């Protein structure tokens, strides 16, 4: 693309470095900003700078927070012996939306993925192991995505805390609620048969 303005070109180039945004989309966004009042660009850039400069990560669970200890970790009404291990803040938000979890979280900040150059040392694994070793936890629940990277990360952590004596569980895999059996993939369907549970227990959860 050849631009008639260096300022325009630079703005487009910077925006197109964001994931999933190509040069054409970036140009569309920039032209939109040009049609809006100058203040809107000001609000946008100020919000981004404030977010990047001032955002904190909870010292306990490593989730994004405005305070040193996040709202969930400082909530004494929650079960602090029950820790759910997730990849990032989006998973915390998804689980919180269900209203089914009353424990606390531990946000790893990613999954072990050698292809993307992410090793265990870049994730918040050591602080989780410390928490487990401190003896204050009763259960750790793995809630990572069911992918090769998620399974690798689960297993890497499991090996380090397996002998701690606490319960180590993982969220249930199975046919999604509302799904038809014939369209389910065979691995998921196979697991949901092997990991079947008493009918009375299942209806109690509805």
Residues of the shown chain interacting with a second copy in the complex, contacts defined by CB under 8 A: 1-8, 10-11, 13-15, 17-21, 25, 27-34, 38, 40-45, 47-56, 63-66, 70-72, 88-90, 92-93, 96-97
State the minimum distance, in angstroms, from the CB of residue 168 to a second copy.
Answer: 26
**Rg value, the chain, Cα:** 22
Contact 60, 73 (CB under 8 A): yes
Our CB check for a second copy shows the closer of 103 and 132 to be 103
State the minimum distance, in angstroms, from the CB of residue 167 to a second copy.
Answer: 26
Our CB check for a second copy shows the closer of 73 and 82 to be 73
State the minimum distance, in angstroms, from the CB of residue 108 to a second copy.
Answer: 13
Which residues in 46-76 are b (16+ Cβ under 10 Å) and which e?
Answer: eeeeeeeeeeebbebbbbebeeeebebbeee
Read off φ and ψ for residue 99, nearest 5 degrees.
70, 10
Our CB check for a second copy shows the closer of 88 and 151 to be 88
State the minimum distance, in angstroms, from the CB of residue 173 to a second copy.
Answer: 23
Rounded to whole angstroms, the Cα distance separating 126 from 112 reads: 13
Our CB check for a second copy shows the closer of 53 and 200 to be 53
Our CB check for a second copy shows the closer of 47 and 197 to be 47
State the minimum distance, in angstroms, from the CB of residue 45 to a second copy.
Answer: 4
DSSP-derived secondary structure letter, 118: B
Contact 83, 106 (CB under 8 A): yes
DSSP-derived secondary structure letter, 162: G
DSSP-derived secondary structure letter, 58: -
């Amino acid at each position: 693309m050849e631009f008639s303005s260096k300022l325009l070109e630079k703005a487009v180039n910077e925006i197109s470095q964001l994931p999933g945004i190509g040069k054409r989309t970036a140009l569309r966004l920039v032209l939109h900003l040009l049609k809006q009042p100058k203040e809107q660009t000001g609000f946008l850039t100020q919000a981004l700078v404030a977010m990047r400069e001032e955002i904190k990560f909870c010292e306990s669970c490593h989730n994004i927070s405005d305070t040193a200890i996040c709202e969930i970790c400082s909530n004494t009404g929650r079960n602090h012996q029950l820790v759910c291990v997730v990849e990032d803040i989006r998973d915390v938000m998804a689980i919180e939306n269900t209203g089914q979890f009353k424990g606390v979280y531990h946000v790893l900040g990613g999954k072990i993925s050698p292809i993307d150059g992410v090793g265990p040392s870049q994730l918040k694994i050591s602080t989780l192991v410390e928490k487990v070793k401190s003896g204050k936890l009763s259960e750790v629940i793995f809630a990572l995505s069911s992918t090769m990277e998620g399974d690798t990360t689960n297993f890497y952590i499991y090996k380090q805390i397996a002998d701690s004596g606490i319960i180590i569980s993982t969220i249930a895999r199975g046919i999604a609620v509302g799904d038809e059996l014939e369209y389910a993939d065979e691995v998921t369907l196979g697991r949901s048969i092997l990991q079947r549970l008493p009918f009375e227990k299942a209806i109690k959860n509805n």
